[in-house]
Chain A
Amino acid sequence: MSLRNALRAATAVVTLTATGAIAETITIATVNNGDMIRMQGLTDDFTAKTGHEVEWVTLEENVLRQRVTTDITTNGGQFDIMTIGMYETPIWGANGWLVPLDDLSDNYDVDDILPAMAGGLSYDGTLYAAPFYGESSMIMYRTDLMEQAGMEMPEAPTWEFIGEAARAMTDRDNEIYGICLRGKAGWGENMAFLTAMSNAFGARFVDENWVPQYDSPEWNETLTFYLDLMNDAGPPGASNNGFNENLSLFQQGKCGMWIDATVAASFVTNPDDSTVADSVGFALAPNTGLGKNSNWLWAWALAIPAGTEKQDAAKAFIEWATSKDYIELVAENEGWANVPPGARQSLYENDNYKDVPFAQMTLESILSADPNNPTVEPVPYIGVQFAAIPEWAGLAGQVGQEMSAALAGQQTAEEALEKAQAIATEELEAAGY
């Protein structure tokens, strides 16, 4: 134990004996998404209720991931709460790096958490992170443009229909592009989208024996379809577009359709930020009739690293931030459309929330994703748009760059898949599969 920690512990003991209850300052690492920034703004409510203070470390997603991973693997103890996703939680939980969340108060009503979310944030049946908000993906489309094109969006469209509609909506002279999809390289960017899309085409990342499948005809079909569609109806420079870039394009009225995270629905329907707020429709992510939709499942969740000395305060914060009361608090301050979605069953039973236009489609999308059974043919991993294995981030990060280069026209689909296959083989071998 370092001198610093020893001092800290000593101070803690003194305070404990003196007052009985300790007011502590906890450090939380979080991502700079809108919902998290809103949470920071409401921290005073937590401090008023518990007496604990909060220090925020808000970082951009890539920097955050790098930062918290370094800290957790070395047991650095810099954070009392980390904001992590569905990918990290089971891996870290399995390594014993997270505090199990199995003793939350009755008031918290842990059974209210949507089963799909709780499942993805557990390892071996134990919950290791509480979902702050959950998401799947769905189609967001411009009802006015769809009408102009003389088409009607079915509730559960096929990829074929999407291709047709996208091409019909495209009007390059007026900077209207039929479809905006992720193209920016990254395992959480284009690879999340493409992996989920490939599920609908019957493809899979590895077979049951961990042999990479990027050279399969199904992957070829997926990538070719994606590239053709983006070349015909996508915005320029799509290979640099991630979630944020597409969101801003859609808000500016430049996209006919956008298939992305369900949480985007509240941004594109917010008249303050979006120029097309009143003409947005929603539909399930497309399929090809093989029984799987192209939608993913993700949650940003709060977890407590096992190394922290402030477990109780950290737990108190998690109970506050992911509670039903917090949802009420946000609704009071910012309206029901802005509450963190996708985490709790009760939210979708709430009458106030039923008026929110995207609520039902979000829930349906979340319920239709199954991380334990993501593909048409069986796979040995868990996860819809990722595989919950430590190698995925590095592997998919590199594969994503090849896909992105293909979208930029620097190589063909075949070349990209050939390289992807080689990368996947190399990475899995290096890890000893």
Chain B
Amino acid sequence: MARTVTARRKAINTAIAWTIGLLIFFPILWTILTSFKTEAEAIASPPSFLFFDWTLENYAVVQERSNYMRFLWNSVIIAVGSTILGIIIAVPAAWSMAFVPSKRTKDILLWMLSTKMLPAVGVLYPIYLIFIRMGILDSRAGLVVVLMLINLPIIVWMLYTYFKEIPGEILEAARMDGATLKSEILYVLTPMAIPGIASTVLLNIILAWNEAFWTLNLTAANAAPLTAFIASYSSPEGLFYAKLSAASTMAIAPILILGWFSQKQLVRGLTFGAVK
């Protein structure tokens, strides 16, 4: 940044930005804090912010009641699996759209996006019946496929916009050197698109992790991910804020940590072609 700024100006910026940042983050912070309170403290009036008896009791109760690791594992497999499968299918499609465009390329792209607008609940019965027929209800494989299909348009779209930014001359040069189509994609294009692919992968893991309609309705005991785990902690009888907070923290922690560590990649790649 070439612009010079005074320290005063920087201090003001810092103050405003931190205030807003903390305000936006506060609901999450509050949930995490509440998860360490007892149920009685969780609803105490006035609420205590930091000075309460910190306890791990809620986590113990939640762990005793439901097998967290299994839900977590299902979430990981479904989110990662659907994303990898999606990438494998989307890379060639995005490649051809970006480098061998035809008149219909744009229409196809927009049509793909429009498939995301089908209201899920309207097709619950049809999809459920298909799943029964295929015997893939409550299986991780079934969910991987469904979530891949749900997110495929976004993956194709994102990859397409990254690929478009790569100058075509480089590919042509590679072709001149006798590179085959396969090696062209694998060794020339993909390395250049790594940042874009990385952020696509991240965004789709987040979207798949948080999907709560199909993951809840197509699973029972075997494939249920963290969205189902949460569904057993919403408003049970009696006081439940602290337990709900603990369960919520356990459900969002993995993806939150992943997001934080990879936010640089996410920020760099999340352009959807908005930046030329």
A and B touch in the complex (CB under 8 A): yes
| A83-115 near B? 1/0 per residue, CB < 8 Å | 000000000000000000000000000000000
A126 CB, min distance to chain B CBs, angstroms: 27
Checking A5, A29, A78, A251 against B238 with a beta-carbon cut-off of 8 angstroms, the contacting residue is A251
How many residue pairs between the two chains, A and B, have CB atoms under 8 Å in the bound complex?
89
Q: How long is the Cα–Cα vector from A4 to B139 in the complex, in angstroms?
A: 11
Contact B236 A74, beta carbon cutoff 8 Å: no
A-facing residues in B209-266 (Cβ within 8 Å) = 216-217, 220-222, 224, 228, 231-240
Asked whether any CB of chain B lies closer than 8 Å to the CB of A70, the reply is yes
Which residues of the partner chain A approach B182 to less than 8 Å between Cβ atoms? none
Contact B132 A70, beta carbon cutoff 8 Å: no
Which residues of the partner chain B approach A55 to less than 8 Å between Cβ atoms? 221-222
Interface residues on A, range: 35 or more
**With A75-B132, A78-B137 in contact, do A247 and B231 touch (Cβ < 8 Å)?**
no
Q: How long is the Cα–Cα vector from A47 to B134 in the complex, in angstroms?
A: 32
Contact A34 B238, beta carbon cutoff 8 Å: yes
Contact A74 B132, beta carbon cutoff 8 Å: yes
A266 CB, min distance to chain B CBs, angstroms: 10
Which residues of the partner chain A approach B237 to less than 8 Å between Cβ atoms? 33-34, 243-244, 247, 264, 267
A150 CB, min distance to chain B CBs, angstroms: 29
Q: How long is the Cα–Cα vector from A34 to B240 in the complex, in angstroms?
A: 11
**With A76-B132, A247-B237 in contact, do A252 and B231 touch (Cβ < 8 Å)?**
no
Contact B128 A70, beta carbon cutoff 8 Å: yes
Which residues of the partner chain B approach A251 to less than 8 Å between Cβ atoms? 238-239
Contact B65 A67, beta carbon cutoff 8 Å: no
Q: How long is the Cα–Cα vector from A27 to B231 in the complex, in angstroms?
A: 17
**With A2-B133, A76-B128 in contact, do A59 and B220 touch (Cβ < 8 Å)?**
no
Asked whether any CB of chain B lies closer than 8 Å to the CB of A273, the reply is yes
Asked whether any CB of chain A lies closer than 8 Å to the CB of B25, the reply is no
Q: How long is the Cα–Cα vector from A247 to B39 in the complex, in angstroms?
A: 14
Asked whether any CB of chain A lies closer than 8 Å to the CB of B129, the reply is yes
Contact A67 B132, beta carbon cutoff 8 Å: no
| A1-33 near B? 1/0 per residue, CB < 8 Å | 011110000000000000000000001010011
Q: How long is the Cα–Cα vector from A27 to B221 in the complex, in angstroms?
A: 7
| CB-nearest residue of chain B to A67 | B217
Q: Which of B64, B133, B222, B237 has the most CB of A within 10 A?
A: B237
| CB-nearest residue of chain A to B133 | A2
A-facing residues in B97-151 (Cβ within 8 Å) = 124-125, 128-129, 131-138
Q: How long is the Cα–Cα vector from A420 to B65 in the complex, in angstroms?
A: 41
Checking A2, A74, A248, A273 against B135 with a beta-carbon cut-off of 8 angstroms, the contacting residue is A2
**With A67-B217, A70-B217, A74-B132 in contact, do A273 and B239 touch (Cβ < 8 Å)?**
yes
Asked whether any CB of chain A lies closer than 8 Å to the CB of B271, the reply is no
Which residues of the partner chain A approach B224 to less than 8 Å between Cβ atoms? 57
Checking A4, A37, A60, A63 against B65 with a beta-carbon cut-off of 8 angstroms, the contacting residue is A37
Asked whether any CB of chain B lies closer than 8 Å to the CB of A58, the reply is yes
Asked whether any CB of chain A lies closer than 8 Å to the CB of B55, the reply is no
- Chain A positions within 8 Å of B, measured between CB atoms, are 2-5, 27, 29, 32-34, 37, 40-41, 55-60, 63, 66-67, 70, 74-79, 242-245, 247-248, 251-252, 264, 267, 273
- Chain B positions within 8 Å of A, measured between CB atoms, are 39, 43, 64-66, 124-125, 128-129, 131-138, 216-217, 220-222, 224, 228, 231-240
Sample 19 A-B pairs with CB under 8 A, ordered by A number. Answer: A2-B134, A3-B135, A4-B135, A27-B221, A33-B236, A33-B237, A57-B220, A59-B232, A70-B217, A74-B125, A76-B131, A78-B137, A243-B237, A244-B238, A244-B240, A248-B239, A252-B43, A264-B237, A273-B239
* 3 tightest Cβ-Cβ pairs between the two chains A and B: A2-B135, A55-B221, A58-B232
